[in-house]
Chains A and B, each alone.
Chain A
Amino acid sequence: MTMDGRPSPTRDPLLKVENLVVEYSVGGRTVHAVSGVSLEVARGETLGLVGESGCGKSTLGRAVLQLRRAQSGQVLFDGEDLTAMQGETLRKMRRRVQLIFQDPIASLNPRRRIGDIIAEPLVIAGVDDPKERERLVHEVLTAVGLDPSLVMGRLPHEFSGGQCQRICIARALVLNPEFIICDEPVSALDVSIRAQILNLLEDMKSRFGLTLLFIAHDLAVVKAVSDRVAVMYLGRLCEVGPSEQVFAHPAHPYTALLIEAIPVPDPDVRPAESVAVGEPPSPLAPPSGCRFRTRCPRADRRCSEEMPELREVAPKQFVACHHPLIAGA
């Protein structure tokens, strides 16, 4: 792994999720959070994962890290199946994969000093020399744009949301991971701070040669940082493809709906009236066939009977729809 640039992309994806199913029970009923999702993230790539709340995107992120165990399916990281790992082997592997959460303030222990918060992963990883730990903490704080001498001795409440997110990013970077899962890292931040953090993530990605899974509900934010996007609806993937291609020519009616719903900061662009129909059904009882059919203007009988599988409709663009918006090959 290089410090000075992106590692050269190899043919093997760094992360490969295969037919992952995550279900859990709530009051005796089963939540179908992730229902057979397969995706790949190449080394040095950023894959954006978008969808509305409750679509299973965060559960998917946690299942990759084995913070929530999958019912079936595989999570191959650098060729090794994380779902088969336990105890120390899994802990060792987790050093290579880190997670950044949505609420930066809530994910920092309010009673610990910043220096200790960032050093903790090092302690767990067995870096025993305090001097060495301090050196690494210094380095990583400087990298995220904070002054170590001003920051290390202070407590999380003394910082703003944007600064706390910088601290969380520093904590995620301190073990020099290869892969970072960012779960809505900017949705709790103000517009002006959001841009700073997005730029910082991009900067860190190229500097530390990272691969990112970037989970968010805001398509414009996802597009700003992602090479490819995966659109998720009620536990299943609707569409996967290169960002520019998907945004310019969405193939799934749900992707098109998400794009149309983004408010455009231009008074000449009249908001499209009622592009969105209804709300997502409950993941306790997902519709038969295509899960989007209850909100889809193109749905017919086939959609309720037959579950659409992902298929390639344009180079590298895959869609799970019986009636895609672009004619397939």
Chain B
Amino acid sequence: MTEPALLSVEAVAVDLPTPRGNLRAVDRVDLSIGAGRTLGIVGESGCGKTMLSRAILQLLPKKAKLSGRVMFDGQDLVRLDPEALRKLRGRSLAVVFQDPMTSLNPVLTIGTQLIETLQEHLELDGPAARIRSAELLAAVGIPAPEQRLAQYPHQLSGGMRQRVAIAVALSCEPKLLIADEPTTALDVTIQAQILDLLAREQRRRHMAMILITHDLGVVAGRADEVAVMYAGRVVEQAPTSALFKNMHMPYTEALLAAIPKIDAAPHTPLPAISGRPPDPTRPMEGCSFSPRCRHAAGQCYREKPALVAAETLDHRFACFHPIQLAAGACA
């Protein structure tokens, strides 16, 4: 990639004070994404993927402490003043959350919410904003868009609400869309439709997308690159096909193996990952996956493995005992 990244996250860390002590939700993460590309961020609940997306959006809880840089389109968002940030969010940086009910205002009609966004950011007048709103609803596959504008979010199904949330997010032609578990609350048939919709709109608009999910199956066919997070850190990152064909981090392998396979015979025991993720308020000395890892040995319990390059520079992993690594590749 020769063109500069649209977004680069540099050594971002997020600390949250809790009654039980400091919780390091995101632990020095570096990531970047180019224009029009899709980055999948995969991890289980509590791994820090949502906090990372909030750190990018500068929407962290008030008590949270953020360090590092978030360079977006040439500006460091961490240092941007609130007014400039507000202009940027919704305009060139948009987000779709897991639960569309929390991102839509329940007491405003869908029309009001779309029109407001368009008037605020694109300075369209009322009638123009109304026409554009109906077009947007049609683009995200909502039948009878004119009538829908007068409806409230509770009058729509979960899938339709998520389509509305996507229409709001896309309304100002953002350069980057962060989709945080956009289909987790939806049925499998609706999930497929929403993911198709996101992919189609992304291609059409040459928009970059960060797709956050706990399901490796969701990113497999849809992301250009995947970053796997565990206990606040990126533990493996690679172009999607390289990651699935040649994963090096035992956690990535275990995560993939734990998914029930549709072609496996019934009653095949699943290779479960024993134990559970570490308590983020109790920092560990060694690799945070070591208590659950079947490859773990001495060094793993004492030192944190750094994220290092594998066969190619764009495939990185953090492990002292990587699997399937060609000899001499470790940088």
A and B associate: yes
Q: Which residues does A use to contact B, with CB under 8 Å?
A: 52-53, 160, 162, 190-196, 198-199, 202, 217-221, 223-227, 243-244, 247, 257-276, 279
Excluding A224-B267, A224-B270, A265-B244, 11 further A-B contacts by CB distance (< 8 Å) are: A194-B258, A195-B270, A195-B271, A220-B261, A224-B264, A260-B192, A261-B188, A263-B215, A264-B262, A265-B259, A270-B221
Max count, chain A CB within 10 A of own CB: residue among B195, B255, B270: B270
B274 engages A196 (CB within 8 Å):
yes
User: Complex formed: what's the CA distance from A136 to B217 in Å?
Assistant: 41
| Minimal beta-carbon separation of B20 from chain A (angstroms) | 12
Residues in A whose Cβ lies below 8 Å from that of B45 = 190
Kindly identify which residue among B262, B268, B272 contacts A196, using a CB–CB cutoff of 8 Å: B272
Q: Contacts of B259 on A, CB cut-off 8 Å?
A: 191, 195, 220, 265
A162 touches B276 (CB 8 A): yes
Contact of A271 among B44, B216, B221, B270 (CB under 8 A): B221
List, in ascending order, chain A residues with CB within 8 A of B191's CB: 261, 263
Residue B308 is within 8 A (CB to CB) of chain A in the complex: no
Could you jot down 5 A-B contacts, CB within 8 Å?
A: A192-B272, A196-B272, A247-B262, A264-B262, A271-B195
In residues 136-157 of chain B, which contact A (Cβ within 8 Å)? 157
B187–A225 touching, CB < 8 Å: no
**Residues A269 and B221 in contact, CB atoms below 8 Å apart:** yes
Q: Which of B240, B259, B268 has the most CB of A within 10 A?
A: B259
A279 vs B222: C-alpha distance in the bound complex, in angstroms?
23
- As a 0/1 sequence over residues 241 to 264 of chain B, the CB contacts with chain A under 8 angstroms (1 = contact) are 100110000000011101111111
Contact B266 A223 (CB under 8 A): yes
Provide the bound-state CA to CA distance between A244 and B266, in Å: 7
Given contacts A226-B266, A265-B220, A271-B196, A195 and B187 within 8 Å (CB-CB): no
Contacts of A267 in B (CB 8 A): 220-221, 240-241, 244-245
CB distance from A194 to the nearest CB of B (A): 7
Docked CA distance A219–B191 (Å): 14
The residues in B between 286 and 325 inclusive whose CB is less than 8 angstroms from any CB of A are: none
Evaluate contact between B266 and A271: CB separation under 8 angstroms.
no
User: CB distance A265 to B189 under 8 Å?
Assistant: no
Q: Report the nearest B residue to A53, measured CB to CB.
A: B187
CB pair B268–A224 under 8 Å, yes or no, is: yes
A198 neighbours in B (Cβ, 8 Å): 260, 270, 272
| Shortest beta-carbon distance from A71 to chain B in Å | 26
Q: Once the chains bind, are B262 and A220 in contact (CB under 8 Å)? A: yes
